[in-house]
Amino acid sequence: MYITHNNHFDFGWGTGTLNFNEKDSNSYRFSFGRASYIPSSFRQECVRAARLIGENAKKPIIIHFSGGIDSEIVVRSFLEAEVPFEVSIMQLLYKGNPHYNSFDTVYAFDLARKHKIKTHVFTQDIEQFVKTTFEKEADAWKTNHLAIAMQTEFVRNFPNYHNVYGGGDLKPQRYKSLGKSSVLRGTANEIHKTQNGLYVIEAESAVQVCFRAWECGTSTSNRFFIHTPELMLSWLYDPDIRHWIKYESALHSRWTDLNHHGIKAFVCYKHWPEMPMRPKFTGFEVLGTKDFITSQLSPESMEILARVNAKYGGNYVGSSKKVDVQDLIKMLLPE
């Protein structure tokens, strides 16, 4: 199954590779391949990744377009690479409102019309998903991540396509932080592990969509931003990202943590100045927020969510491992 270029993102359970049938009997393992050169531009590497997907996908390509920055970059990269594709746009149905997330998807529809992209509309009833599907997904991956669980519905509804998602962006986090009592959290080994003291999380639930694609007999590039080692390295080597990491590492306040979403928007708009600046309010992310869960869902759905949370203790990503940023860079650099 084609997931990343040359399947450089190698994952499986135990010693196997793509052995989904052993998921519940062995521990999760993964590795990333080495880049063949030092990349110079994040945008260029995104376009190259789109071109490679176009050359290797065995089925027509469909991009799941939420109207957010990540999926828009994917759409624009495929346009620039001149790779044919279609888009799907999910409309969230909730309490009679047929388009709960219209603020964001209106932009997606407009962009698709502007570029004459064939568009599929996929309606998802939030309550129905929670009542019929969510707990099964949660049990399978031992996580209460409602948004990722719902993403598997795309693959189920588009089995005759190579499904592309705008995921996989690297989110550095710090090992060390000051709490209210000014005591460093984390072990001494973690605090002094690297010069920058940052890591990224590789979560087992990130391959949840890959499993559903395998189950449906199709394929997916569900984490576009790790599609090649060069693309991953181009983000970590972007001058603004490197400067931000250095700046952040000098800070010791819990309130000045590395704001991935802030710096991501800044860097992405730098590379794609033609993208209109806008917030995102009602995409997948809102499904995982406390405000939505406590104020929007029915008592029956709330009972299901409470049951899932009781089983998994608020585990948002399921089984996961920390990958030190410096170790990741060494893993990706050409030999």
Q: What is the CATH number of the domain that holds 55?
A: 3.40.50
- State the average pLDDT over residues 129-146: 85
What is the residue-averaged pLDDT of the chain?
82
CB 93 within 8 A of CB 254: no
pLDDT tens readout for residues 198-213: 778 888 778 888 988 9
Residue 227 has pLDDT above 60, yes or no: yes
pLDDT at 36: 97
Reported as a pLDDT band with limits 50, 70 and 90, residue 7 is very high
Q: How far apart are the first and last CA of the chain?
A: 27
For the entire predicted model, the pTM comes to 0.87
Residues 259, 113: Cα–Cα separation, whole Å: 33
Q: Which of 184-198, 259-273, 284-298 has the lowest mean pLDDT?
A: 184-198
- State the average pLDDT over residues 46-70: 95
Collect all residues with Cβ–Cβ distance below 8 Å to 95 and sequence separation of at least 6. Answer: 127, 296
Collect all residues with Cβ–Cβ distance below 8 Å to 85 and sequence separation of at least 6. Answer: 54, 60, 61, 62, 63, 75, 78, 117, 164
Nearest Cα to 79, choosing from 110, 121, 114?
A: 114
CB 253 within 8 A of CB 178: yes
pLDDT at 115: 97
pLDDT at 35: 97
The CA-based angle 144-100-166, given to 5 degrees, is: 60
Report the domain count for the chain.
1
Which percentage of the chain shows pLDDT scores above 90?
37
CB 88 within 8 A of CB 96: no
CB 313 within 8 A of CB 184: no
Residues spanned by the domain of 186: 5-332
Pairwise pLDDT comparison (195 vs 74), residue with the higher score = 74
pLDDT tens readout for residues 241-288: 888 777 765 654 444 455 666 788 889 999 999 998 877 655 555 565
